[in-house]
Amino acid sequence: MLRIRLWQVIVVVLVCAAAALFAVPNLFSQNSLGNSYPDWLPSQQVNLGLDLQGGSHLLLEVEVAKVMEERIDAMVDDARTALRGEKIGYTGLKRRGEMVVLQLTKLNFLEKARKLLEDLDREAIVVSSDDGAFQVTLSEAAVAERKNSALSQSIEIIRRRIDETGVSEPTIQRQGDDRILVQLPGLQDPERLKRLLGKTAKMTFHLVDQSVSDTDVARGRLPPGTMRLPSDDEIDEAGNPRYYPIRKRIMVSGDSLVDSQPTFQDNQAVVSFRFDASGAKKFGRVTQENVGRPFAIVLDGRVISAPVIREAILGGSGIISGTFNTQSARDLALLLRAGALPAPMTILEERTVGPDLGADSVEAGKIACLIGLVAVIVFMLLYYGLFGIVADIALVLNLIIIFGLLSILQATLTLPGIAGIVLTIGMAVDANVLIYERIREELKSGRSPFSAMEAGYKRAFTTILDSNLTTLIAAVILYIFGSGPVQGFAVTLGIGIVTSMFTAMLVSRFILVWWLKRYRPKTLPL
């Protein structure tokens, strides 16, 4: 253990120097880094969590049941089209819960109808009775997969929307089967973000049913396959929203959008959009076949506009106009660009942490770390003398390496993370204490200073490794199964364990071996 090679010394020096280089930016403010800090030096700082710099905490619930309702509604439309195409008579075709139900009027089409209904979805389960009643459902595995996919897709779209706003280091995590935790450190405008996250932003294009009169629309008397949707900005003489009779069939889906940007047309804020190749083809065909008919643009169940198709639009792009201002046009373009949520979401919990409270937490954390550091340094100095000074040097290097690694990894430091660092300060000297006490025992047994130090490091190594390894396993488990603050604690604790092993077994050993070989004392000051 006392044989030290040159390459080992070089590696230790380089690691400590690199850690110091990456830790130094944390001593400066962000403005100082931007103005006077050299560009060629590392400038990454440790990211502060929500509880340290303020921000918003949102718990969102995804209405995954809506996904199944939309899928069953689509199956109803597909069943209607398929049965009418084969001229099979039926009555009572509708959605009932998570199933499609219908009644055949002629039993001689029983098998043919069964085959058509089974072709609606490869995971459809069709149950029929002898009197011609049908029930079409999806398998439990298909339902679970669609709901899980909806939650995963919601997380990804939320991430895109937040990234577009410029919020740095957001925390977006799944909680349970239908909830999403969103933490946004440093958020300056939580209300705007809530509006962006709360919108489904599902845009579809439908034909307007011109066979329905305004009187029938007002009374809600609509033919099958037509729905009544309110206008987003048009009102009638009584001040109520104008309603449109919209065909349920989606002619073009907003899923085919590849880009949307805010722009101006005739000095009015509008949103331009562009489809992919498949969407452009559908859009061109629909507009070509329906020249002279109103074509409704529907966003989240409201008609944004319903312009009349003047000519075929074959370029795959268009303009959405309405009562937009610059900000609302920018937000709508952002929503469409990020993609539509597969299901609506509601905010179950909202917490806002002010920057002043975060600053108080940072200051309290600094004081706790300083008190812990000073207490440990004084104790080691008084109890172990020269050897205590070496342990204190290793302890300071340990903290520098921790902050260097946090900066390199761009980890987020939270209040529990500071607690992990404070705990690390106390644990960092454990290895030195075990080694020093072992050396004392060897000296009492009559060994020489060289022999005692050799035996002390060699025999204490197994105990140090076992104790740190078990703590590291606990930290890994906390990180895997924990969330938010628990993970922050686990990260700093895990990093602290590794760095304390490094400083105790290498840094302090190198210093003591150098001192021992340089001065060759007859006894050790322990």
Residues 369 and 482 in one domain: yes
C-alpha 332/C-alpha 302 separation (Å) is 14
215 and 79 co-located in one domain: no
The answer to whether residues 116 and 35 belong to one domain is no
Structural domain that includes position 430: 6-52+354-519
Q: Which residue has the tokens 């900005």?
A: 233
- The CATH number assigned to the domain holding 215 equals 3.30.1360.200
pLDDT of residue 204: 86
Block mean pLDDT (10 aa), the chain, length 526? 80 91 80 64 77 80 84 84 87 88 87 86 84 88 84 84 72 85 76 74 86 86 88 78 88 81 84 84 88 86 84 81 78 75 82 69 80 89 90 91 89 82 84 89 88 88 88 90 79 90 88 88 82
Instruction: Let me know: does 210 contact 280? Beta carbons within 8 Å.
Output: no
* DSSP conformational letter for 506: I
Same domain, 138 and 266: no
Does one domain contain both 452 and 383? yes
Q: What is the pLDDT of residue 14?
A: 92
Structural domain contains residue 525? no
Please indicate, yes or no, whether residues 365 and 472 belong to a single structural domain of this protein.
yes
Q: Which of 323, 339, 373 is the last residue of a domain?
A: 323
Question: Considering the domain boundaries, does residue 33 fall inside one?
Answer: yes
* Segments of 266-410 assigned E as strands: 268-275, 295-299, 302-305, 317-324, 345-353
Q: And the tokens for 140? A: 């439990």
**Bridge partners, 275 (sequence order):** 257
Q: Do residues 79 and 208 both lie within one domain? A: no
- Model pLDDT, residue 318: 80
Q: Is residue 363 part of a domain?
A: yes
Does 150 fall in a domain?
A: no
Closest by CA position to 342, among listed 200, 206, 159, 204: 200
Helix, coil or strand: residue 262: strand
Task: Kindly report the CATH number assigned to the domain that includes residue 445.
Answer: 1.20.1640.10
Nearest Cα residue to 191 out of 286, 78, 318, 331: 331
Instruction: Assess whether 385 and 280 both reside in one domain.
Output: no
Residue 158 lies in a domain: no
CA dihedral 195, 196, 202, 208 (to 10 degrees): 50
pLDDT of residue 188: 63
In this structure, the answer to whether residues 217 and 254 fall within a common structural domain is yes
Residue 58 domain-assigned (yes or no): no
Asked whether residue 248 is domain-assigned, the answer is yes
Number of compact structural domains in the chain: 3
Residue where a domain terminates, one of 143, 160, 176: 143
Same domain? For 307 and 235 the reply is yes
- CATH code for the domain of 90: 3.30.1240.20
Q: Mapped to the 3 state alphabet, what secondary structure does 61-84 carry? A: EECHHHHHHHHHHHHHHHHHHHHH
Write down which residue in 143, 165, 185 finishes a domain: 143
Residue with tokens 């929500």: 50
Is position 153 within any domain? Answer: no
Beta bridge pairs of residue 320: 271
3-state SS of 30-45 is HHHHHHCCCCCCCCCC
State whether 441 and 508 are in the same domain: yes
87 plus 211 within the same structural domain: no
What pTM was computed for the model? 0.60
pLDDT of residue 246: 92
Q: Name the residue among 247, 240, 249 with its Cα closest to residue 211.
A: 247
Buried b (16+ CB within 10 A) or exposed e, 407-425: bbeebbbbbbbbbbbbbbb
